[in-house]
Amino acid sequence: MKVLVVGGGGREHSLVWKLNQSPRVTKVYCAPGNAGIAREAEVVPIDVTDIKALVDLALDEGIDLTCVGPELPLTLGIVDAFEEAGLRIFGASKAAAEIEGSKVFTKDLLAKYNIPTGSYKVFEDPAEAKAYLKEVGAPIVVKADGLAAGKGALVCQTIEEAEDAVRLCMEERAFGDAGNRVVIEEFLVGEEASFLAFSDGKTVLPMATSQDHKPIFDGDKGPNTGGMGAYSPAPVVTPELFDQTMNEIMIPTVQAMASEGRPYKGVLYAGLMIRDGKARVLEFNARFGDPEAQPLFMRMDGDLVDVMEAVIDGRLDQVELQWQDDATICVVMASGGYPGDYEKGKVITGIDEADALHGVKVFHAGTAEKDGKIVTAGGRVLGVTARGKDIPQAIERAYEACALISWEGAQYRKDIGAKARKFL
């Protein structure tokens, strides 16, 4: 069968890599792809927002299955458009993807169905938002309502920082229309973890546990990013916490979406805050995590195509997921200046040498090819992913690989996976 992956980041490279392992797949296309994906799939220069062109591509090439990587095309209704054209596609519908597309929608949903999360209030007027901040004090979290590439959640330690965050979202329009409304919510204390599951609208099939690292600097310092690294399994998610997350968060959320007339099919990704052995929801995403997908796919046994088709056909209850017993870690190498302004076009060296190490796979994110060389083309550039018999060995291999790769201004966190060591 022919498969199309929509997107061009590290998550999409890992999807291409995993789908290529299926004995059922004869060819993988990717739009728009990147320099690394171009080595493993036929890349087509179509933007993820050009849904008509993507539908036409799938029809012209006889694509049997499409998988959507990023959130933006999901919120724009790519799944609805493909289904209307009679095409099979894995991902959340436009109505279901609002669980990521609108923080306000999600907080209201969680409150309505008594799903554990932090307290919150919604504002459309910046003056009212700032007045409320003076009432509740800090620390506090200010979130832009809409999509902001993982950078719209601003953790504020002081009232001044929170007022600046409201100004940034609502007055300076740093995130465009995403900042038309803001959610001001309780600052939850604890340890974050990612919890991903497949859903066909009825059945919820959990994936292995994982943990992301959002802030740019070691020790979770600095501004949030799209994710600077992840590892699996995440020992902070104990068997008891796993069951609580499934029974109090994941299953009730899928049931709530069905009750709202928005059946949820695809990947449901909960960002959790864990404290005293209990999880509460920070946010939901409507797709595979990036960088969580990279270590998860490296541990996943079996055929991803079978799982995706079971989701589409509503028979996920017939599927079992198997996971390898080892540990995996992904370290994101980013451009200097990210998540702020950064330069593109820096020549990257050492990728092939790192890729050749035992247990290592370098997934490309923001890369392009120029004059026969791989150059930087984004903020997050590479996801250096490694497996080991346990987390310490996976960490050692990933950082050995990172040390072989360089370009002017490259930066990466040196503590990815360190949170797991206290459980070992």
Tens of pLDDT, residues 383-393: 999 999 999 99
Residue 84 is predicted with a pLDDT of 98
Residue 224 is predicted with a pLDDT of 86
Averaged over 393-408, what is the pLDDT?
A: 98
> Residue 226 — φ and ψ, nearest 5°?
-75, -10
> Residue 129 — φ and ψ, nearest 5°?
-60, -45
2-91 maps to which CATH number?
3.40.50.20
DSSP 417: T
Architecture, CATH, for domain 327-421: Alpha-Beta Complex (3.90)
Share of the chain above pLDDT 90, in %: 96
Q: Which amino acid is at 122?
A: V
Which residues lie closer than 8 Å to 225 by C-beta, 6 or more apart?
150, 151, 214, 215, 216, 334, 338, 339, 379, 380
Fold of domain 125-180: Dna Ligase; domain 1 (3.30.1490)
DSSP 177: G
Both tokens of 152, joined, read 């719209």
Residue 151 is predicted with a pLDDT of 77
385 neighbors 295 (Cβ within 8 angstroms) = yes
- CA gap 125, 336 in Å, rounded: 35
pLDDT higher than 80, residue 300: yes
Options 3.20.20.120, 3.30.470.20, 3.40.50.1000, 3.30.390.50; which CATH number does 191-323 get?
3.30.470.20
Q: Which amino acid is at 298?
A: M
Nearest to 149 by CA among 386, 366, 329: 366
Domain spans in the chain, listed from the N-terminal domain onward: 2-91, 125-180, 191-323, 327-421
Both tokens of 271, joined, read 């960002």
Is the pTM for the entire model greater than 0.85? yes
pLDDT higher than 80, residue 149: no
pLDDT higher than 90, residue 162: yes
pLDDT higher than 80, residue 272: yes
Tens of pLDDT, residues 174-212: 999 999 999 999 999 999 999 999 999 999 999 999 999
| Residue 206 vs residues 175, 232, 289: alpha-carbon distances, Å | 32, 13, 14
| Alpha-carbon dihedral angle through residues 302, 308, 311, 315, given to the nearest 10 degrees | -50
- CA gap 383, 109 in Å, rounded: 34
